[in-house]
Structure 1
Amino acid sequence: MSKNETMASLSLDQHRAAVEALLAPLSQGRATESISLSAARIAGAPDAYRHRVLAEDLASPTDLPPFDNSQMDGYAVRSVELAGATPDATVRLRVDPQINAGDTISELEPGTAAPIMTGAPLPTGADAVVPIERAIPDHFRPTLDADGSAALTVDFAAVPDSDEFVRRRGSDVARGELLLTAGSVLGPAQLGVIAATGLTKIDVLRRIRVLLVATGHEIREPGTPLQPGQIYDSNSAVLSQALIECGCTVVAWPCRSDDAADLLRIIEKGAPTADLVITVGGVSAGAREVVRDALGPLGVEFSHVAMQPGGPQGLGLVKAAGHADGIPVVTFPGNPVSALVSFEIFVRPLLRRLAGFARTERETLRLPLVEAVESPAGKHQVRRASIDPDGRVRLVGGPSSHLLHSYAASTALVHLPVGLGHADVGDPVDVWRIDD
């Protein structure tokens, strides 16, 4: 037994607390960076804008909308001039020149109605818009004779309310008003309202930078020919995407070797530009465990957590250039399901919190089982599952840690706590939704 391995199993909560303590310093003095906003930039480099988090409160530099404008296609009018209008006693007004979106602000002459298009500036003097379908006639016509004189009139059979179908300046956001709060995740609507104010640069939290090292002499890049005994590296793809969904920047640098020196060289080269190192594989009790062999002597602690899958775990600080106190290292077991379950439980909520996401935890439900299930009484077992339309939870695949296909077909994780041992049909269990 290595001095860097604890004798007794840790509980899931104990190890989660240890990982949280290890990563806590990452929240101190989070760096920020500026990003430029334009449709061309967003379309040309979408990854640069995905899962970005606003670094500070953002006040609107302008009113939205920036001027009074029409909410409908219709006629801009002075509502007082339509006083007394009824279907039996309509009010007739002379028709002014048409106002289109993008036109400059004009003035509405007394006794007139101006054809106005949606989004066009409301003319000075007007206080309401009558939709075209409520006018008589209910369609637009040419408004001027060849000599420029008024050619038409229009009748109205009802009195509009003041401000009816008018979008007033600042009615969405007033200049100086809080537009978005620090910590806002920038999705389509958030980027849209920022662009609507005319801002071209905003400050966001710099992404947590993760060096991801999948290990194993047997792993190969997908698409390359496999020799007997070799497998494709799925862990790099699995965890890269999981990290990206937490707002991280990922450098995936597999170690296709069981030589500790090779792993140490990768960490030495990648650590200076990373905030966190995550390794996958090489942490069990085998004769050749590259992560234990390389990082145990450097102070990384390895232990067994009372959970299935994902028992072998490790964490610690490793000296590295650019990190005065060492770079945090979290190690996961190598089976893909074990690695992803470990990430879900121990790391995902912390990284999402560090990234500034308002929602950090998976949605937890209490649902009845479709079938009976057995679980190791001394372990917290996590099973893959789906949720039926009637709200019951159905297990998908067995408990083995290599069954990645069943994970891919699942929409939920079922948590069977230590001491449960057995659950019957209809018994309620805790369920994490993983399909959002």
Structure 2
Amino acid sequence: MKTAEAPQDTGGSSEHQRLWSVDEHLADVLAAVRPLEPIELQLLDAQGCLLVEDVTVPVALPPFDNSSMDGYAVRTADVQGAREEFPAVLTVVGDVAAGSGELPTVGPGQAARIMTGAPLPPGAEAVVPVEWTDGGTGGGAAAGMAPASAAPEGAGGEVRVYRPAQSRAHVRARGSDVQAGDLALAAGTVLGPSQIALLAAIGRATVRVRPRPRVVVLSTGSELVQPGEPLVAGAIYDSNSFALAAAARDAGAIAYRVGAVADDAETLKAAIEDQLVRADLLVTTGGVSVGAYDVVKEALSSIGTGPDEPDAGRMDFRKLAMQPGKPQGFGTIGPDHTPLLALPGNPVSSYVSFELFVRPAIRALMGLPDVSRPSVRAALKTDEALGSPAGRRQFLRGAYDADSGTVSPVGGSGSHLIAALAHADALVVVPEDVTSVEPGTELDVIPLG
């Protein structure tokens, strides 16, 4: 692995002309992002959100002793010594279905037909599964269990039990899951399906969380055509806004995709201002380089500098020591100082930039502790050495094999190679001081899963 000395900064003395590192730019973004204020949400709306309160159990779970099997509720003394040759013969005094209110009392020599989840009736000490019995005779049941709707007609008849049962066999004890007053979930928990199940089980209909941020994605470029429409000469389909909106959803946000905006600074500025009402974070793609039609810089670089816009925010456009994704813009806009990240327009550049900067910003808005994807070490699996520009942190697309601990490059380094990006599941990180990477070299890899 060949290394090179870091180049000296010759871009001028002003802050926006210097070359920023990836880490500096990310730190600058995160310093300006504050977690969203907590709100009360319905359970399903809170999925993926960060809990901001301790939740205690109001009632024991389960709230009563109940059966874990379809069978018969019995007294253990009545089935002691029961076997195939000499079954215990018990009188069936009734049915107990899940949700039953009034329960029959099980006395000596008696049993109650019981369904899974039904409360254990008074006098019963255990449940024998229906498979240990002849299924019962009379009272609405013959060779199987009576349906719940037949519970009132369940009394009468007999059941033969062929195996003994220990006390509390097949009984779920009251509070065996959680006791009243226990801590169900601690503040800081991210709510997934199992946590939402617990909240519902203890009777919570709503919960206080930091909400999912609303992210608005805009593409810029007069050459962009929406998928499904015919292409004209010189036009391309807009893929960036779809990719970034999908990536925002994957990061946990509520994403709004705005159709491509033409290369006109006033039109773009008006479009962005229109979206402020529903945005916690704005993301643009395209128009941040040095071309004549880089309208994002033109539209937003003067935000907050006019005498009539004292609180409108500030945008900064800079160059980063990375490949792809060198040109970047970041700042705040509007009266609420909504964060705006302006990403380059090449598809791979915009996607890599999203992973490195926008995804962490989204997760910071959600109040999550781990904002960036974790990285792993993997050996480069390739037939020949790979080159990397001196002084730039390069992010190659790769296919990561966790079993072998290797990563294989996918496609080239071009920032327009969408097909290669679609077949990659990781970013391979080549440090700034490395210019050549030999096969087998261990590098940091960021899985994108």
Give the TM-score normalised by structure 1. 0.86
User: Structure 1 residue 366: deviation in Å?
Assistant: 1.1
State how far apart, in whole Å, the 2-side matches of 1:95 and 1:283 are: 81
Superposed CA deviations along residues 368-415 of structure 1, whole A, max 9, x for unmatched, are 121142222321111111123533211111111111111111111111
Change (3 A) 1:183 1:275: same
Identity between Structure 1 and Structure 2 (%):
41
Change (3 A) 1:115 1:369: same
Does the 8 A contact of 1:90 with 1:157 survive in 2? Answer: yes
Change (3 A) 1:2 1:213: farther
- Secondary structure at 2:166 match in 1: coil
1:15-414 correspondence runs (5 A): 15-23=25-33, 26-27=34-35, 30-36=36-42, 48=45, 51-83=48-80, 91-104=88-101, 105-135=103-133, 137=134, 139-143=135-139, 150-158=156-164, 160-298=165-303, 299-318=314-333, 320-321=334-335, 323=336, 326-357=337-368, 359-371=370-382, 372-388=385-401, 390-414=404-428
State how far apart, in whole Å, the 2-side matches of 1:85 and 1:357 are: 58
Q: Which residue of 1 aligns with 2:306?
A: none
Superposed CA deviations along residues 169-207 of structure 1, whole A, max 9, x for unmatched, are 222223333323334333332333333333333333233
Superposed CA deviations along residues 97-127 of structure 1, whole A, max 9, x for unmatched, are 2322232233211232222221111111222
Superposed CA deviations along residues 278-307 of structure 1, whole A, max 9, x for unmatched, are 221111111221111122222421111111
Does the 8 A contact of 2:93 with 2:154 survive in 1? Answer: no
Change (3 A) 1:96 1:381: same
- Secondary structure at 2:355 match in 1: helix
State how far apart, in whole Å, the 1-side matches of 2:130 and 2:160 are: 10
Q: Which residue of 2 aligns with 1:45?
A: none
Report the residue type matching 2:127 in the other structure.
V
Does the 8 A contact of 1:184 with 1:358 survive in 2? Answer: no
Does the 8 A contact of 2:52 with 2:209 survive in 1? Answer: yes
Change (3 A) 1:35 1:206: same
Report the residue type matching 1:415 in the other structure.
V
- Secondary structure at 2:73 match in 1: strand
Unaligned 5+ segments in structure 2 are: 1-10, 142-152, 304-313
State how far apart, in whole Å, the 1-side matches of 2:394 and 2:258 are: 30
User: Structure 1 residue 6: deviation in Å?
Assistant: 2.7
Alignment RMSD: 2.8
Report the residue type matching 1:411 in the other structure.
D
How many aligned positions are there?
A: 414
State how far apart, in whole Å, the 2-side matches of 1:67 and 1:130 are: 18
State how far apart, in whole Å, the 1-side matches of 2:295 and 2:287 are: 5
User: Structure 1 residue 355: deviation in Å?
Assistant: 1.5
Unaligned 5+ segments in structure 1 are: 43-47
Change (3 A) 1:141 1:183: farther
Does the 8 A contact of 2:79 with 2:161 survive in 1? Answer: no
Report the residue type matching 1:130 in the other structure.
V
Does the 8 A contact of 2:319 with 2:327 survive in 1? Answer: yes
- Of residues 412-421 and 208-217 in structure 1, the stretch that sits farther from structure 2 once superposed is 208-217
Report the residue type matching 1:317 in the other structure.
T
- Of residues 295-304 and 305-314 in structure 1, the stretch that sits farther from structure 2 once superposed is 295-304
Superposed CA deviations along residues 216-273 of structure 1, whole A, max 9, x for unmatched, are 1211222222221111111111111111222223333345222211121122222243
Does the 8 A contact of 1:255 with 1:266 survive in 2? Answer: no
State how far apart, in whole Å, the 2-side matches of 1:94 and 1:156 are: 15
Does the 8 A contact of 1:92 with 1:153 survive in 2? Answer: yes
User: Structure 1 residue 156: deviation in Å?
Assistant: 4.2
Does the 8 A contact of 2:395 with 2:430 survive in 1? Answer: yes
- Of residues 52-61 and 166-175 in structure 1, the stretch that sits farther from structure 2 once superposed is 52-61
Superposed CA deviations along residues 130-151 of structure 1, whole A, max 9, x for unmatched, are 223334x3x3433589x99853
- Secondary structure at 1:118 match in 2: coil
Does the 8 A contact of 1:368 with 1:429 survive in 2? Answer: yes
